[in-house]
Amino acid sequence: MDRIAWFDSVVRAATRRRHVFFHLNALAATVDDRSAFADSAANLTVKFIDCYKLPLNSDGDLEVLEDVASDLIIVLGFDALLRARRGEAWMRQLRPMLFDAMAGGAALIISSKLPQKAYPAIDGSGLATDCYATPVPRLTIDHMVGMDEVRAKDILAVSMGYPGPASRLLAGGGSGASLLEGSDIFIECLAASIVECGAETLSSLESCYLHGISLPEGPYSHPDDVQSTLIAAGMAEVDYASDAVNVLPWLSVNTICRAIVKADLMMLDAPASWGEIANKLFRIERSLRAIISRNSVYSSRREQFLESRRKKIRDNYSNETGVAAPSLEQLAIPEKWLDLSDLLDLLAELAEGGRINGMSSKQWAKAKADLLPVRNRIQHMRLPRSGDAEVVRAYLSRLGSS
């Protein structure tokens, strides 16, 4: 009888470290995760808490849970608490109960479809963030206990050893027609996992592989938070000889690109950071108009700049209101019809030979170089990049409006 050690390394990590986070993404998720964990922990007493089956609309009624005293506690679907109306209450209630169980000798695995960085700093989220992230395992022939060796090698070759696609191949029979579809299944799992890693991860992968944009560290480098997410997701490994993080080195660049393109088409929901960035860009642009208005000493230079943008101002007015634009002089707030780029250009001109709001002309020009790419990504519904939120926070603070 076949016995596949799907999550042996995860269970070993938990028993050694006592508390681990496991990103159970599409590359890792099996057809039956509960059974897969149980098989890998056959020599331990195991208690499961399935967050998808909790009464999440109530305020953390722990009486619905059985006694969790055991060798190993496995929390399935912890990400469900991020979306549930009373999810925060459940995190808050689960934390002391699970910490007490660990104090009594239990090991704990927190599994989640979403990565650690998806969890905000709220009471109880430390269950997911204040622990070691054990990476998604890749299976070898030694894990395929009792299986015909030729069949096992075929499945491992198509799935690249990832439990998710391997499980789906086996569910389809694990031979013949199901193996012919294996490449599509693998790409689908890889793409879904990239989406689950978040918008910043997908954006960073697109920059490297689709657009050829390199960081100073090298052509396939990524920001630290993206690297950590990819490592935990089983999509990158550290080369300790060179201290480099290699993304999917066991795959061809063509395969990686196919998955990235599919992931981009799959990501339909706005990422969590999108709302914050859009909100702060709104405040930045409104703050710039207020700064220009307060500096009336530069009124003649301001009027000259507005005159140079007369056509754009009137066109913007007409396009938005649907009526013919009045003369520039009749507009109460002509700057209202300029965009962020124009406002920063105006401030750079006004600050020549001095400072506006404590910033020199060069600093206003630098603000344009920093903020415009972020604004463009939000305006055109492209994915924010790692660091975009920090950029807008920094400038909003500098403008004195947080």
What are the pLDDT digits (tens) for 60-82? 566 667 677 899 999 999 999 99
* pLDDT attached to residue 181: 66
At 272, list the tokens. Answer: 């969590």
CATH superfamily entry for domain 3-134? P-loop containing nucleotide triphosphate hydrolases (3.40.50.300)
Element housing 247 (H / E):
strand 244-247
The answer, yes or no, to whether residue 179 has pLDDT greater than 80, is no
Backbone angles phi, psi at 259, to 5 degrees: -70, -40
What are the pLDDT digits (tens) for 301-321? 888 888 888 888 888 888 888
Residue 255 binned pLDDT confidence (cut-offs 50, 70, 90): very high
Instruction: Using DSSP, state whether 132 is helix, strand or coil.
Output: strand
Which pTM was predicted?
0.83
* pLDDT attached to residue 68: 79
Residue entry with tokens 């290699």: 246
Rounded to an integer, what distance in angstroms lies between the CA atom of residue 313 and that of residue 335?
8
The answer, yes or no, to whether residue 217 has pLDDT greater than 60, is no
Residue whose C-alpha is closest to residue 97's, from 49, 43, 50, 37:
49
What are the pLDDT digits (tens) for 15-56? 999 999 999 999 999 999 999 999 999 899 999 999 998 887
What residue segments make up the domains of the chain, in order of their start?
3-134, 170-266, 275-398
- Poorest-pLDDT segment among 85-94, 215-224, 251-260, 384-393: 215-224
What are the pLDDT digits (tens) for 337-374? 889 999 999 999 989 888 999 999 999 999 999 999 99
- Poorest-pLDDT segment among 13-22, 35-44, 242-251, 252-261: 242-251
Tell me what the pLDDT averaged over the chain comes to.
Answer: 88
Residue 59 binned pLDDT confidence (cut-offs 50, 70, 90): low
Which alpha helices (H) appear in 30-125, and where do they start and end?
33-40, 80-83, 87-103
